[in-house]
Amino acid sequence: MSKRIVAITACPTGVAHPFMAAEALEEEAKKRGYWIKVETRGSVGAKNALTTEEIAQADIVIIAADIELDLSRFAGKKLYKTSTGAALKKTAQEIDHALTTQTVFKSNSATTQSHSGKAELPGVYKHLMTGVSHMLPLVVAGGLCIALSFVFGITAFKEPGTLAAALMQIGGGAGAFGLMVPILAGFIAFSIADRPGLAPGLIGGMLATSAGAGFLGGIVAGFIGGYSAKFVADNVKLPQTMEALKPILIIPLISSLVTGLIMIYVVGGPVAAAMAGLTHFLAGMTSANAVLLGVILGAMQCFDLGGPVNKAAYTFGVGLLASQSYLPMAAIMAAGMVPALGMGVATFVARDKFTEAEREAGKASFVLGLCFISEGAIPFAARDPMRVIPSTMAGGALAGALSMLFGCTLMAPHGGLFVLAIPNAVGHVGMYLIAIAAGTALTGLMYAVLKPAMEVQEA
């Protein structure tokens, strides 16, 4: 029997995963003769938006998202939640699970259970990624504005009234970078408690910034603000005539007081000390420590190609940008470019081991790699994970280690090689390119050697 499916795909960075997952869902549904429409939530907002009529006519709603979304428009519909990674790599299985679930979504329910068991991401991780996704535009804009201010000289921004000073003000603590931590905290809390969580999250984030607790303090503030707002919303009961006061007076006041007092008297000091210690450690790293950190971050970045481990390393690098620690982000982006670039190299140097379709996919993968979209390697990893993943991790570890060893820095958390067009966005550009090229070569050649010839593979 033909089915009608509507879906949403979304992830924190919103560059590749939502669109690749959407394409996979569409292809699998068409194979089965189902009607499907997928709304993608990427870095440029919602595309291919679902209409009220399409939702009403749908037999099932699939939410493949790594961040929290407002699902109120799906109240009363059968709804299945999973991750973008599962929708991309196990598409047929996820559609089967979606069609067999009998869960009806209620707009006031905090969560909707996923019948795949392991497919849906843990709540804490999803809340964190929701905050990171809203913080990213500020990091990009702020980092590049600061880099542009250096075009006029490294200390030119100290001269009041100059364009360099204005660029530094826009990107620095008075502008984008000053908002980073409050936005991170605010949207972590929003993910937990919806709109009532915004006020305590933002306030806690500002207190973390003023205390010098940095992004670690922002993360703590976000969870305190979100869960305190949720606790008040769920447990404070008022007469029906006064219920309207809850979201605009009771919840913001109590949760903001709880968050603020905990940040000031309990959490702020220790987290600020931890953040200062981390910053001091990164600033005073020896070559051996730097290389080891680069190996770890590079390998993490290439382990699951946009999954939780990858995002953990990425979040670490992004958070340190606000503390003017630019070395880890450079290592992370260098390593993140390697998987997709390496698969492109492998299909070129070992052409006889790949089908024509795989060679074409390799060309697309190489272009995605140049853009710092490691998900370009996912089609290869899905078909041959035991050979692809070790190859990508080895190349990523090498690229990350060399980037740290060479002292390369990066002011922006995305853009791949295209950030080289921004003066001073990358420090030690020549050595940075060598790090990326070395990691790419290792991944490409390693996989080219490990991959069996087609005759052996098909036998």
Name the residues annotated as catalytic. 11
Residue 186 parent element (H or E)? helix 176-193
Residue in this structure with the two tokens 């570890």, named with its chain if needed: 397
Spatial distance between the Cα atoms of 229 and 224, rounded to a whole number of angstroms? 8
Return the structure tokens found at 269.
Answer: 């000091």
Spatial distance between the Cα atoms of 78 and 70, rounded to a whole number of angstroms? 16
Return the structure tokens found at 302.
Answer: 């290439």
Neighbours of 155 (CB within 10 A): 9
CB-based contact 445:345 (threshold 8 Å): yes
CA contacts within 13 A on the Cβ side of 389: 14
Q: How far is CA 21 from the centre of its chain?
A: 15
- Euclidean distance between the first and the last CA atom of the chain, given in angstroms as a whole number: 36
- Of 131, 111, 292, the C-alpha closest to 205 is 131
Q: How far is CA 291 from the centre of its chain?
A: 24
